[in-house]
Chain A
């Protein structure tokens, strides 16, 4: 698939997945790949403590825009920021002339009070800010590093939850507008990330159905992360004839183990073929840790290859 077409399928891509599957690195690689391809891109961090700043080798993200410089890419193509509910609330109420009055009365207790009274309001405020950025049209693409999957569903259902309990007022309007964004596949899609392993795949399938059934957001391609290279055949006794016996055992053991793991992974990919037939982006394992800017660069290249290898959506 033509990469630029992929990056303009929807204006907001929400990247979600179980903890430990590399959701944040995938989000960063997607945003970087989009920027390299000429899309003006915003990468949004939501969770309190993530590795995005390590990935780019720079400062902690804040609510203010942070320009990320990429090699061979014009300045301003990639921006990153962190959206927190309290900042989003301040922004939102200020825009409606309500904040000063509330603040004068009770300082920072406002959000806590609102949040206790209205489940989902914090997530809604974050989604509302994303919607505002999407509407403003400054970015071709907004990539969101969503909360880990169980919480991703709660996060995405925030608008609906608020609509159930709030019958009027600006928060309800906000919820309606966020709901419209989530329902429109040209405005917003969810990319689920998994490893080719039993538990993450089981959770992915569960999350995928809930995202479509309960939230109604369109699912983009699945991202299968950290796929190891195809393992070789176990060396034969003949081949091992010339090496010390401890080394022969080590070689046989290492390859046999790797093949057993690979067979488990192949089984999981087959499961996905049957239980969740969506287009997939396969990313190879990048073993080096810690994961820094050089590794992100490598993953971004792999992301491009995977996108180009993916069949077109209308094929």
Chain B
């Protein structure tokens, strides 16, 4: 039923692996395990996490920063990991794309830029894309594994390049771009700006105009970049690994996301059902319940209670995940709930073994 070899084969030639799934299913662990798996296969791998919980760092035994840090382990390949710093990545992007230092300085010191580069929703997703592309372009890695933000935001991750293009081409940009405002003197737009000012104050509008003014000339570079990232994600080089928990409440979200991924023409390399409860008996649950009844008054009663309870969890999970087989034709891999927490390289390697390493 579990098909680690199938997943392993499909990841063997991927240059980019996106780990996607809803929150709390263990995406970060699976991403780390895929990285270990690749290193064991002799590849040069890097894992990008956006998880601020430092869990990957702890598991890998390193301090994570915005640049890849080498993880020392016994494998023929190489493994590095980094934790995305969206603001720093954005700053570096501005510096690189700006025509000169002065332009970069104008943008970096703009109040609006400082606000959006840190907190604006979507910035993190866009910068994860940017980091991915930067590492891809460096040629230093055979495979880049991305621990994407939780599902709904993972979609944002996939849509970030398009969104940026839409923003660059969009109303707000045209509206605030002084050059274009001059070109199309539109009383309606001016009135709209005044109305916006009346609600949020004029400073924000002034900041916006100044920001976009400073941005002038850079939009083509950004647009090109967005297109390139989009092409990479849609190409055969990119594989998506869907991660889900075996529970009724996360399976529908996984189905939904699998559909979204398929609609975008992305290649699904596999579906990982993470932390499945281990089964301890092949006997039918009804039989176990009868045996429990028979032992209701002896020393084994409480042990039977635990066994029956565990086997019903197994049955429940089986039912919840049954429909996942129809969602995707990709290999399905079960990673069991371990009797220890995944918090060091050994336990990450144990998860990697279930993925077919």
> CA of A257 to CA of B115 in the docked complex: distance in angstroms?
49
> CA of A41 to CA of B24 in the docked complex: distance in angstroms?
29
- Interface size band for B: 35 or more
Q: Which of A74-82, A137-145, A231-239 contacts B (4 or more CB under 8 A)?
A: A231-239
Q: Which of A78-128 touch B at CB < 8 Å? A: 93, 98, 101-102, 105-106, 109, 112-114, 116-121
B28: nearest chain-A partner, CB-CB: A199
Q: Give the secondary structure class of A's interface.
A: helix
> CA of A266 to CA of B202 in the docked complex: distance in angstroms?
55
Q: Does B192 contact A (CB under 8 A)?
A: yes
Q: Does B262 contact A (CB under 8 A)?
A: no
A24: nearest chain-B partner, CB-CB: B249
Q: Does B188 contact A (CB under 8 A)?
A: yes
Q: Which of B159-189 touch A at CB < 8 Å? A: 167, 171-172, 175, 188
Contact pick for A20, options B204, B250, B343, CB 8 Å = B250
The answer to whether A102 touches B195, judged by C-beta atoms less than 8 angstroms apart, is yes
**Distance in Å from the Cβ of A250 to the closest Cβ of chain B?**
4
The answer to whether A254 touches B55, judged by C-beta atoms less than 8 angstroms apart, is no
> CA of A234 to CA of B120 in the docked complex: distance in angstroms?
53
Q: Does B356 contact A (CB under 8 A)?
A: no
Q: Does A177 contact B (CB under 8 A)?
A: no
The answer to whether A166 touches B204, judged by C-beta atoms less than 8 angstroms apart, is yes
Q: Which of A8-16, A180-188, A272-280, A283-291 contacts B (4 or more CB under 8 A)?
A: A283-291
- Report the count of interface residues on A (CB-CB < 8 A): 70
Contact pick for B341, options A51, A106, A198, CB 8 Å = A198
**Distance in Å from the Cβ of A226 to the closest Cβ of chain B?**
11
Mark A residues whose CB is within 8 Å of B: 18-21, 48-49, 51, 93, 98, 101-102, 105-106, 109, 112-114, 116-121, 148, 150, 154, 157, 161, 164-172, 197-200, 202-203, 206, 231-232, 234-235, 239-240, 243, 246-247, 249-258, 260-261, 264, 287, 289-291
Mark B residues whose CB is within 8 Å of A: 22-26, 52-55, 111-112, 115-116, 119-121, 150, 152, 167, 171-172, 175, 188, 191-192, 195-205, 207-208, 245, 247-250, 278, 280-283, 291, 298-300, 302-307, 309-313, 316, 320, 337, 339-343
